[in-house]
Amino acid sequence: MTATTPGLVCGHHHLYSALARGMPPPPRTPTDFGAILELIWWRLDTALDLEMLRWSAMLGALEALEQGTTAIVDHHESPNAIEGSLSVIAGACAEVGVRVVCAYGVTDRHGADGAQRGLEENRRFLAEGGRGLVGVHAAFTCSDATLEAAAGLATDLGVGVHVHVCEGTQDHAAPERLRPLAREDWLLAHAVHLPEDPGLPGTIAHNPRSNLNNGVGYARPTRFGSRVVLGSDGIGAAMLEEFQLAYVCHRADDVTASPETAWGWLAAGAELVPEVASDEVTWSYARMDAWHVAFTPGIRPVRVVVDGEVVLEHGRPTRVDADEVRAKAAEQAARLHARL
């Protein structure tokens, strides 16, 4: 028995981190979220070149497709390989047959020149017709001038801004600094430490697995009403698993919680990429509703149709050779890990 649903959406991803698994341990054990960024993610993104990025994105897109996720809203940073990076990601996703909304995370971490190059990569990609948002890493790594420039570029190009907001406590000033700039089409990732009524418009991407993994706390997304979607923050794009985790986190915080709430967050991803409504995912399981999926392990897509084309059949991708993608990704992961 099977059931067919629209494609799932990962509302916040980092395809560049697909090669991180198995990386060498950091020089010392991080003891808080700031140290996790500095000792793990900011070392990893600095070491990336475009060839590593290509196979990281290929692997991430493949793993999304294999989980019935037909659209990824990506947030990218590779400070030593900025120019062209969004096209590399978009090309890899197109090759696998998955939709992607790209953004380059602008930041002043690498000086004003780095911020300018990040802005330019967003502008170039969008001006050439790429599907995307303007990316900002987070308010706490950007000057006011950079935040204003990114918001202004997004307005000029008619797209929103994709930004991390209050993931950890170090980003406490974000609501105040972003309030004059934010709009309804912004995508705010995490919001763990965002106040109850932040006065910030936009969609909130809740990333329960990542938040647990980083020990940053529970976002309590019901505080934000109906404007919540689910993301993975780079830990794959298995959105049914992310839903299951979102439900148990909600339940751990409030034992009266129903899985219908997290199911609604999963479905709301379609508001970010409306085309997924026409994608078809045929699952290995017949009862694709909140109460069944919340408690059923191992549900897999057997067939996926994106934009009228069968891109997964009998659980295998049709456009790429999954074994070859994994082998090439492993080669690039070895190069990346050697650099670390």
Nearest one of 219, 225, 216, 210 to 261, comparing CA atoms: 225
CB of 314 to Zn ion, least distance (A): 33
Please choose, out of 87-95, 118-126, 228-236, 286-294, the segment that lies near Zn ion by the rule CB under 5 A: 228-236
Q: Which residues pair with 312 in a beta bridge?
A: 304, 317
Residue placing its CB nearer to Zn ion in the complex, 11 or 175:
11
Task: Tell me if 54 sits within 8 A of 95, measured CB to CB.
Answer: no
CB of 288 to Zn ion, least distance (A): 27
Size of the site for Zn ion (CB under 5 A): 1
Q: Does 63 bind Zn ion (CB under 5 A)?
A: no
| Residue whose pair of structure tokens reads 């897509």 in the numeric block | 301
Residue placing its CB nearer to Zn ion in the complex, 178 or 306:
178
CB of 111 to Zn ion, least distance (A): 22
Please state the length of the chain. Answer: 340
Please choose, out of 41-49, 130-138, 225-233, 251-259, the segment that lies near Zn ion by the rule CB under 5 A: 225-233
296 CB-side CA count, 13 A: 14
CB of 41 to Zn ion, least distance (A): 9
Give the residue nearest to Zn ion (CB).
233
In the list 171, 233, 241, 279, the residue contacting Zn ion (rule: CB under 5 A) is 233
CB of 265 to Zn ion, least distance (A): 16
Torsion of CA 243, 10, 65, 105, to 10 degrees: -150
Q: DSSP secondary structure string, 164-183? A: EESSSGGGTTHHHHHTTT--
Give SS3 for 234: coil
Residue placing its CB nearer to Zn ion in the complex, 193 or 303:
193
What 8-state DSSP symbol labels residue 153? H
Q: The tokens of 339 are what?
A: 């650099």
Residue placing its CB nearer to Zn ion in the complex, 16 or 243:
16
Q: Does 66 bind Zn ion (CB under 5 A)?
A: no
Residue placing its CB nearer to Zn ion in the complex, 233 or 280:
233
CB 93: neighbour CB atoms within 10 A? 26
Residue placing its CB nearer to Zn ion in the complex, 235 or 305:
235
Q: The tokens of 224 are what?
A: 């934000």
Residue placing its CB nearer to Zn ion in the complex, 6 or 105:
105
φ, ψ for residue 162, nearest 5 deg: -110, 110
CB of 92 to Zn ion, least distance (A): 19
Which residues contribute to the site for Zn ion (CB under 5 A)? 233
